[in-house]
């Protein structure tokens, strides 16, 4: 029985239910076997992992193309992510898990601000962990779309999770991208950073909030989180502030920013004066301004979106009794089409001003890139990506 090829078994399934099978997809799954075999996993595990998976999941491809943190403005994303129900639930979780959170902080140096922010945004505190089959999601992404490399990198870690026995092929579930558990670890991150809070044992980020939160703290610590500083804080810039100092190319100790006239939006003084930080404008010069520390980069390592990282920080702050964003968010209006927005970002990057990718969405990196270009060519430093900026880029600066 074991000598029958997996493709043959799947094709038999396809013949039994042709409306729900894709022969090319079945062949693609079969093509994965040599890689799995070379990594030392059994044919039995391979067959069980892909049992019943006979076609790509169209929902996976749809969701992959419409990630809200990359499509919406920062303010739009925060409006959807930092909701009152999440704040209320988060405060309940803070109160009900105070001892656990305190112990995790003591061990990893990561406090409840990022932990509750990530937990709330990733799964609504364990209420929405995803019920899609991880292997089908990964196979779909490897088979089609723009995330083939990402999904391929997750394949062997996914099999390592199955081999460990913490999940079976039947309950190996998560989101469309294969992210799993309370805080939505992808397979490779699980293998690298997941821990069992009680000591030796299976690292169960699905059924154990303790394991999930400790694992998240461990990941953030490995990503550079320091316990003596916040992720960042909202500030005001003095009149006449040198706008060329905005952006991640200009790291200074918080105390030095204070000497340049930057003040906290709330409170009497700038926190963590020794910590290095840069000035971030997530929606232009007319919107909220933040000093963000290297802890913000640790949040970006979890999800490389400034809107996501800012939402985690803001939600976590509010849950912990700290203020949210005080300054008003400006309308993000532009005279550029979607294709032109992508063109502008690509030309900025080609000119040495990194926008973080040409996705048509104007976030912190795009504003920083525009400021850098405007300084280079002698334009007014407003940081706004307009048609005039695009025309100068087209003209070669």
pLDDT of residue 205 exceeding 80, the answer is yes
Token pair for residue 301? 């390592």
Domain coordinates in residue numbering, the chain: 338-394
pLDDT for position 148:
94
291-303 pLDDT, tens digit per residue, is: 999 999 999 999 9
Task: Tally Cβ neighbours within 10 Å of residue 380.
Answer: 9
pLDDT digit string, tens, across residues 94-140: 999 999 999 999 999 999 999 999 999 999 999 999 999 999 999 99
pTM of the model: 0.89
- Eight-state DSSP code of residue 330: P
Q: To which H or E segment does residue 13 belong?
A: helix 6-16
Q: What's residue 224's pLDDT?
A: 98
Kindly tell me the burial class for residue 108, based on how many C-beta atoms sit within 10 Å of its own C-beta (0-12, 13-18, 19 or more).
buried
Residue 38 has pLDDT above 50, yes or no: yes
Q: Does residue 69 register a pLDDT over 70?
A: no
pLDDT digits (tens, 9 = 90+) for 3-14: 334 344 444 444
Q: CA-to-CA distance for 348 and 381, rounded, in angstroms?
A: 15
Which has more confidence, 121 or 334? 121
**Could you count the other beta carbons within 10 Å of the beta carbon of residue 309?**
29
Using the 8-state DSSP alphabet, how is residue 323 labeled?
Answer: -
pLDDT of 11 reads: 42
State the average pLDDT over residues 11-27: 64
Maximum pairwise Cα distance, the chain: 78
Instruction: Summarize pLDDT for 189-199 with one digit per residue, the tens.
Output: 999 999 999 87
Averaged over 172-186, what is the pLDDT?
97
Q: In whole numbers, what is the pLDDT of the chain averaged over residues? A: 91
């Amino acid at each position: 029985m074991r000598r029958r090829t997996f493709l043959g078994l799947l094709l038999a399934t396809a013949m039994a239910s042709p409306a729900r099978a894709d022969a090319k997809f079945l062949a693609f799954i079969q093509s994965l076997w040599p890689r799995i075999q070379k990594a030392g996993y059994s044919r039995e595990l391979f067959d069980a992992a892909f049992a019943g998976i006979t076609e790509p999941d169209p929902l996976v491809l749809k969701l992959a193309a419409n990630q809200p943190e990359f499509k919406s403005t920062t303010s739009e994303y925060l409006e959807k992510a930092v909701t009152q129900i999440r704040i209320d639930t988060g405060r309940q979780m803070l109160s009900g898990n105070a001892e656990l959170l305190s112990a995790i902080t003591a061990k990893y140096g990561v406090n409840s601000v990022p932990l509750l922010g990530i937990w709330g945004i990733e799964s609504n505190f364990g209420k929405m962990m995803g019920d899609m089959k991880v292997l089908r999601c990964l196979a779909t992404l490897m088979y089609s779309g723009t995330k083939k490399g990402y999904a391929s990198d997750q394949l062997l870690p996914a099999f390592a999770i199955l081999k460990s026995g913490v999940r079976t092929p039947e309950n190996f579930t998560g989101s469309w991208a294969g992210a799993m558990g309370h805080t939505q670890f992808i397979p490779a991150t699980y293998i690298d950073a997941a821990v069992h809070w009680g000591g030796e044992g299976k690292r169960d980020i699905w059924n154990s909030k303790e394991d999930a939160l400790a694992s998240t703290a461990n990941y953030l610590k490995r990503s550079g989180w320091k316990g003596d500083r916040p992720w960042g804080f909202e500030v005001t810039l003095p009149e006449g502030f040198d706008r060329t100092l905005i952006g991640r190319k200009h790291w200074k100790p918080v105390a030095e920013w204070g000497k340049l006239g930057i003040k906290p939006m709330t409170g009497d003084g700038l926190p963590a004066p020794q910590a290095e930080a840069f000035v971030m404008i997530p929606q232009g010069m007319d919107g909220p301004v933040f000093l963000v520390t290297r802890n913000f980069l640790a949040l970006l390592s979890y999800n490389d979106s400034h809107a996501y990282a800012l939402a985690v920080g803001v939600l976590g702050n509010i849950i912990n009794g700290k203020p949210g964003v005080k300054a008003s968010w400006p309308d993000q209006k532009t005279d550029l089409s979607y294709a032109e927005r992508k063109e502008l970002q690509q030309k900025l990057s080609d000119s040495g001003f990194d926008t973080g990718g040409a996705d048509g969405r104007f976030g912190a990196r795009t504003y920083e890139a525009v400021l850098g270009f405007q300084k280079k060519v002698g334009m007014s430093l407003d940081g706004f990506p307009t048609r005039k900026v695009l025309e100068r880029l087209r003209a070669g600066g």
